[in-house]
Amino acid sequence: MNSKFMGFTTATVIVVGLALWLDAKLALGGEVPVPPDFFYEETKPLDPVPFSHKSHVTGKKLQCPECHTKPFQMKKLAASPQMTMKVLNEGEFCGNCHNGKKAFSTKEAKDCAKCHRKK
């Protein structure tokens, strides 16, 4: 074997190894980079509502499939037009969890400000 071939083989092993390692990581779902926080703005007359992947995924240890691709598409604000308070209060979208059982409710006057906040 010449040294050029050895170099090529080594490089191939490293690339394949890296790909397998990344694959395993993604399959485990543990360390996939999560999108940055964003705001829902169709909230007048109340303040906008932040959504934080960081606090839900890292903080609350929720898994991606609990929210994707149902009830949420992986597209920021895709569901916003359907997301009225009435619909959330009926247990759709955020209301799947924010129902007073899994997480604070969308119906409690004392909790409105946990979601509706100044930017």
Listed ranges 4-12, 19-27, 53-61: which one lies at the site for ligand HEC (CB under 6 A):
53-61
CA–CA separation, 62 and 53 (whole Å): 9
Q: Which is nearer to ligand HEC, 9 or 80 (CB)?
A: 80
Interface with ligand HEC includes 96 (CB under 6 A)? yes
Find the angle CA(51)-CA(67)-CA(92) to the nearest 5 degrees: 80
Interface with ligand HEC includes 26 (CB under 6 A)? no
Interface with ligand HEC includes 62 (CB under 6 A)? yes
Q: Which is nearer to ligand HEC, 10 or 58 (CB)?
A: 58
Q: Which is nearer to ligand HEC, 13 or 61 (CB)?
A: 61
Q: Do 71 and 93 touch, CB atoms closer than 8 A?
A: yes
CA–CA separation, 116 and 47 (whole Å): 5
Q: Determine how many CB atoms are found less than 10 A away from the CB of residue 83.
A: 21
**CA quadruple 70, 37, 101, 30: dihedral positive or negative?**
positive
Could you list the residues that contact ligand HEC (CB under 6 A)? 32, 34-35, 40-43, 46, 49-53, 55-57, 60, 62, 64, 66-68, 72-80, 83-85, 88, 93-94, 96-98, 102-104, 106-107, 109, 111-112, 114-116
